[in-house]
Amino acid sequence: MAFNSILSSLFMLFLLSSSSINPPIEKYSPLTFTSDLPDFSFNTENITLCDDAFHGSEVLHFTEWWYFDAELTQGYTLQFSIHVYNIFTEGFVAVNLNIYHYGIPVVQERDIYPIDIVELSKSSPSVHIEDKLNMKGTGNDPSSLSYTLFYNTRNASIFLEYIGLTEGWKGVTPAGNWAVILPKASVSGYLIINNSRYQVTGIGYHDHNWNVTIVTGMNFGWIWGKTNSQSYTITWSDILPTWYQDDPILVVNKEKDGYIDIPSSNIHIIARGFSFKNGYIIPWRFHILAEYKDIFIDIFIDTSTVDYRTVFGLINYWRYHVHCTGSIKIAGVTEKIDEYNIAEFIRFRFY
């Protein structure tokens, strides 16, 4: 019992990130992501702003986090997250800032704060830490919510505004509750890196996970990403209960015009290429195929760079910079996909 508590505490501490790269191995691996479990169904619901407030949990071990990323001008990409952890009766907050230039890390900061100095709202999206951090969301229309994001750390500062372009949604997965608040947003503001200031604009994404408990760590892991055409945003994920079973999720947003979730039985997420990295064979190239009613999706996802971190050998996390190409066809109209974005692969277990 004590060992299980320690183990769960360790894996709850980190759903995080950091760096490395190898050429792909084009051969078979068990991670093919093609045999979804027949009883899984992801059902989306509309969101309101309060869905992005702090939820907390009644269990002894849980984590909850807000995640932001952005593809920005001048070759910069950004990932920012706020994680709230509760282990036994102790709580703390970890803030992570990762800035990349053409996929190569230039800022990697992680700060830990005692929870009693962190202001967390249970009525609206608001997290505040003295003069270090301010994350705040406002708005009534779920397709145009706006967020301001400020963070000041040792070697970098950011001030960014996210304005929603698509309607958010939420659902329950085998890994906990998941709300994609901003499937696609316009982003503007500035980065300060080693005392140099960069004005940036771009396209961003924001989601929120809660009720993530020890049960989540019983899964093999998950893979997640998103991509955009001119009018549509495709958010996809594959929860992996084991290395040979999967629960695929795919939701299509139309800019300022709602969303639709594709049934899991109509989604195929296939790993087409692999790379041996950090002692593991990891997926390197993906193929997503989905067909439902008048919707046809065919996307190839190729990895450009990957950023890696392991914690005590218990959790392995890879953040991908990827090139997405393909098409989405809805109601007889086809739009091309050709863009760069961010994806992730997290692995809880060795088997």
What are the DSSP calls for 7-30, one per residue? Answer: HHHHHHH------B----B-S--S
> Which pLDDT value is given to residue 4?
34
Instruction: Please say whether the beta carbons of 142 and 167 come within 8 A.
Output: yes
Phi/psi at 127 (5° precision): -130, 125
Q: Which helix (H) or strand (E) holds 77?
A: strand 76-87
Residue 287 carries which side chain, given as an amino acid letter? H
> In whole angstroms, what is the distance from residue 53 CA to residue 137 CA?
9
Burial class (CB in 10 A: 0-12, 13-18, 19+), 231: middle
What is the pTM assigned to this prediction? 0.88
Question: Kind of pairing, strands 295-311 and 315-330?
Answer: antiparallel
What are the DSSP calls for 81-141, one per residue? Answer: EEEEEEETTEEEEEEEEEEEETTEEEEEEEEEEEGGG-EE-SSSSEEEETTTEEEEEE-S-
Q: Which fold has domain 2-347?
A: AttH-like fold (2.40.370)
> Which pLDDT value is given to residue 311?
58
Burial class (CB in 10 A: 0-12, 13-18, 19+), 319: buried
DSSP symbol at 321 = E
> Which pLDDT value is given to residue 220?
84
Question: Kind of pairing, strands 280-292 and 133-138?
Answer: unpaired
> Could you tell me the two tokens for 114?
């005692």
> In whole angstroms, what is the distance from residue 256 CA to residue 234 CA?
14
Say which residues have a Cβ less than 8 Å from residue 288's Cβ, sequence separation at least 6: 234, 236, 250, 267, 268, 269, 270, 297, 298, 299, 301, 326
Bridge partner list, 48: none
Residues in the chain with pLDDT values less than 70: 1-39, 310-313, 350-351
Residue 32 carries which side chain, given as an amino acid letter? T
Backbone dihedral region of 56: left (phi > 0), alpha (psi from -120 to 50 degrees) or beta?
Answer: left
Domain range list for the chain: 2-347
User: At which residue do the structure tokens 């695929």 appear?
Assistant: 248
Residue 12 carries which side chain, given as an amino acid letter? M
Torsion of CA 99, 102, 104, 105, to 10 degrees: -10
